[in-house]
Structure 1
Amino acid sequence: MLVVQLARLSGDLPYDCDVHLVEPRPVPGPGLAYTARRPEYLLNVRSQFLSAFPDQPDHFQNWLRLTSPEICQQEFCSRQSYGRYLQQLVSQVLEWPSLNGFRFTWHNQAAQSVQVHPTSQVATVQLQDGTRVPSEYVVLALGNFPPSPPASRNTDYLHHANYHGNPWAQGALRNIGTHDTVLLIGTGLTAIDVLLGLRTDGHQGVVTAVSGHGRWPAAHKFQEAAYPDFYADELRGADTVLAVLHIIRRHIRAAEAQGINWRTVLDAIRPHLGSIWAAWPQLEQARFLRHLAGIWSVLRHRSPPQNAATVQEMMRTGQLQQEIGRVKDIVPMTNNLRVTIQKGQEPPRQLMARHVITCTGPLLDYSRIQEPVVGSLRESGHLQPDTLHLGIRTDAHGALLDARGQASAVLFTLGPSRRPDFFESTAVPELREQAVALATELGKRLRAPAVGA
């Protein structure tokens, strides 16, 4: 999205600038979330909210009408359709220079390191094949990383053929037999996708889903009535979690009295979620993460109604079973895996399954991410993980902060890595706004006397 927004920058003079897109996947654009060629994987946001361009809200819907035969049930399209949309946008940028003077080059490989030169405002990006790309600006658009191992007591299970630590890895679930038992760790959107994939592939074995709270994402529900935005009048400046919670609950009760669903109330304040988060001192942010982040994820990141109905049907027939508890240990047992879970202070219990799949969501803690580029910048002091383990410390423009809190003139980031500033920093409406803002900021800096790329 940043590449596409750079190509749209306007100005009186051309930028005369080279942009290098480093992306090791087979095609640039879809990324991890939208690469899977599985029509059962649905977007969890209605198509009218997924345009890549904030100023053209109908862009994705118009693209669907012109290019895709897909009929989106209840306006929830497949993720592979959105992947094609993004791929087409990026390919158009890569095929020829933009009218504003940007020239785009795709390197189909991974970056190994980023070295920032101490005496000049330039960095060198070294690619996997040894190519070195000198750059005045480097943007880390790294997306999400695979989940961390769910149990650390004994890590032998990590090498077992039937343990699947990353359900999105190529061919990750292909060795699951039709009648094999499966245990899912997590009950969020990733777990729902795995269930849908198994069901489509004809899987008939029992699936057990384990989570600490036992809640599945709430289902979307269409409601024509809108709810007024009450951020400016009541939420602006509210600096405690409890104060915000009281205000939102009061409005939910008022909405229900008018026949308006609670979902509409939360949607009314969505544009302000970053401001609400930023108004909390770090102590309050930590309190929210401890006590409310789990239920917030269930209510905020909802599932398409047809997906939620599938989960309920599988539970009704007994194919899907649910256990509440935290995973304490996973032990390989030849063909099976033995999983020990514990709920609160209750005695531990042991579950047995042929396959175990981690569906706990991405690893956010940049002090633990081992990606070469992240590691090299962290070791050199240019990348600072935040203290709440949500992402990277940055300034208001997305420039990385060093150990002294100084903003880099070279290194920037956007997307999930900016969760410390926005908390909500993974969905398309937030990502496209960040892409527009960062493209505009880089455009301003490129107009400065030392112009480069």
Structure 2
Amino acid sequence: MVEPRPVPGPGLAYTAHRPEYLLNVRCEHLSAFPEQPEHFVNWLRVTQTESCHFSFCSRQSYGRYLQQLISQVLEWPSSNGIRCQWHNQAAKSIRVLPGGRSAVVALSTGTEIHSDYVVMALGNFPPPPPTRHDLRYLRHPTYHGNPWTPGTLRSIGLDETVLLIGTGLTAIDVLLGLRADGHRGQITVVSGHGRWPAAHPEQEATYPSFYEAELAGRTRVAEVLRAIRRHVQLAQQQGISWQAVIDSLRPDLGRIWAAWPQPEQARFLRHVAGIWSVVRHRSPPQNAAAVQEMLDFGLVRLEQGRVQAIEPDADDLVVTVRKAQQPARQLVARHVITCTGPLLDYSRVEDAVVAGLRNEGHLVPDGLRLGIQTDEHGALLTAQGQASAVLFTLGPSRRPANFESTAVPELRKQAVALAQELGRRLLDDAQTR
């Protein structure tokens, strides 16, 4: 395991020591093991870590949970004798050896690891710049391109003005962090669609799946949307929330996405992805209530429009915003924070490992710029369209195949399937030697 962070396991999402950052999924659905759905809940009970309001716990608690699981893997061999070694440094390159059956991973200290299989679990990359021209603002000390950089919020004075770009879950986290720090200055949030993530209902409900009966094999976005709208109406007539209808489709979202030809997938991204993100990736009810309170008291002001330019002006930043068919307007703030979500386009990722594999033709971004082209097991497809025998990936990089590929329920399913596939290949390798 190659991981440069000081503690393996929590990664970036669950590292911050901020109790106000809550998980966006109920703890009942966050077990690390699909076959043990109560594992995380039982861990909370045994460790008495915290009481989870409406079943939404802090991310730092989940980080401790993952850290403990990883430490067990590192300290003791597994039942099949496999041992795990942690290299506390970064990888700077992956070189596929002639024949394509093994690779060498070069680390920042010069160490080289020869391996038959390499799994790239790279997670998310920081958001791309919100504008592509006049990039002087990227070097301005009060522009924050990555809201997760340690110390970002603590560098903001309590009375200084702040402008957030985006109204997704990341923006909600930033708002709650600023509130917890006692921030008093005006906060402006700019969004193209002007919508906040929907809230989870306080009580979770269920709705029967209608995928096999109505959605399997549907090749048009409009057909799927019509069926979903019909079931939302049926659910409401029964006193069931629309959220339950969406959640009933979660196990099959990958199959729905894969059934669409690429033009239909592109149509979804153009016309539906924005509202889908609002209804699918929801906020804990207490978070939604806190943001609404900040809006009601005027601490936060929402401005609808798209950012056209960001220009330094002494200690401040001037943000030009334009809404369709309206004149552009300029907003001034001391701090600007990009909260638009991670960079998905692997043709623009500058990470040395990614760039090296891309240049050698071992890693190919997909046509919709959502991630990496892979086969059904997560093996990288080469520039010639062949599945690599050594390079694999999982997580957000597999969005082209699954679209929904960022939350724990989807990631653990991928991880188990990939572990089983590599286990079979290792066994085959051992039997043929």
> Contact between 2:377 and 2:421, CA under 8 Å: does it hold in 1?
yes
Partner of residue 351, structure 2: 371
1:363-422 alpha-carbon deviations (Å, 9 max, x no partner): 000000001100110000000000000000000000000011100000000000000000
Partner of residue 174, structure 1: 154
Distance 2:78 2:197 in 1: 42
Partner of residue 251, structure 2: 271
Q: Please, which of 392, 397, 414 is the counterpart of residue 412 of structure 1?
A: 392
1:312-351 alpha-carbon deviations (Å, 9 max, x no partner): 0000000000001111100011110000011113111100
Where 1:445 maps in the other structure, the secondary structure is: helix
Aligned length: 432
Matched, 1:397 2:371: no
Report the alpha carbon displacement of residue 103 of structure 1 after superposing the two structures with TM: 1.1
Structure 1 residue runs of 4+, over 2 Å off? 222-226, 449-452
* Residues 339/451 of structure 1: CA separation in 2 closer, same or farther (3 Å cut): farther
Q: Which runs of 5+ in 2 are unaligned?
A: none
Partner of residue 349, structure 1: 329
Where 1:82 maps in the other structure, the secondary structure is: helix
1:268-319 alpha-carbon deviations (Å, 9 max, x no partner): 1110000000000000000000000000000000000010001100000000
> Contact between 1:327 and 1:341, CA under 8 Å: does it hold in 2?
yes
Where 2:389 maps in the other structure, the secondary structure is: strand
Matched, 1:193 2:173: yes
> Contact between 1:44 and 1:303, CA under 8 Å: does it hold in 2?
yes
1:200-246 alpha-carbon deviations (Å, 9 max, x no partner): 00000110000100000000004454211100000001110000000
**Code of the aligned partner of 2:302:** Q
1:139-178 to 2 correspondences below 5 Å: 139-178=119-158
**Code of the aligned partner of 1:125:** V
TM-score by length of structure 2 reads 0.98
Partner of residue 113, structure 2: 133
**Code of the aligned partner of 1:201:** D
1:248-259 to 2 correspondences below 5 Å: 248-259=228-239
Distance 1:149 1:281 in 2: 30
**Code of the aligned partner of 1:47:** C
RMSD over aligned CA atoms reads 1.1
Matched, 1:228 2:208: yes
Q: Which runs of 5+ in 1 are unaligned?
A: 1-20
> Contact between 2:100 and 2:389, CA under 8 Å: does it hold in 1?
no
> Contact between 2:100 and 2:390, CA under 8 Å: does it hold in 1?
no
1:31-70 to 2 correspondences below 5 Å: 31-70=11-50
Matched, 1:237 2:217: yes
Distance 2:205 2:85 in 1: 46
Distance 2:157 2:203 in 1: 41
Q: Percent same amino acid at aligned positions?
A: 68
Distance 1:96 1:249 in 2: 51
Distance 1:278 1:225 in 2: 27
* Residues 120/212 of structure 1: CA separation in 2 closer, same or farther (3 Å cut): closer
* Residues 258/331 of structure 1: CA separation in 2 closer, same or farther (3 Å cut): same
Distance 1:408 1:120 in 2: 7
**Code of the aligned partner of 2:209:** D
Where 1:106 maps in the other structure, the secondary structure is: coil
> Contact between 1:366 and 1:391, CA under 8 Å: does it hold in 2?
yes
Distance 1:451 1:115 in 2: 26
Report the alpha carbon displacement of residue 68 of structure 1 after superposing the two structures with TM: 3.2
Report the alpha carbon displacement of residue 173 of structure 1 after superposing the two structures with TM: 2.3
Report the alpha carbon displacement of residue 89 of structure 1 after superposing the two structures with TM: 0.3
**Code of the aligned partner of 2:8:** P
Where 1:112 maps in the other structure, the secondary structure is: strand
TM-score by length of structure 1 reads 0.94
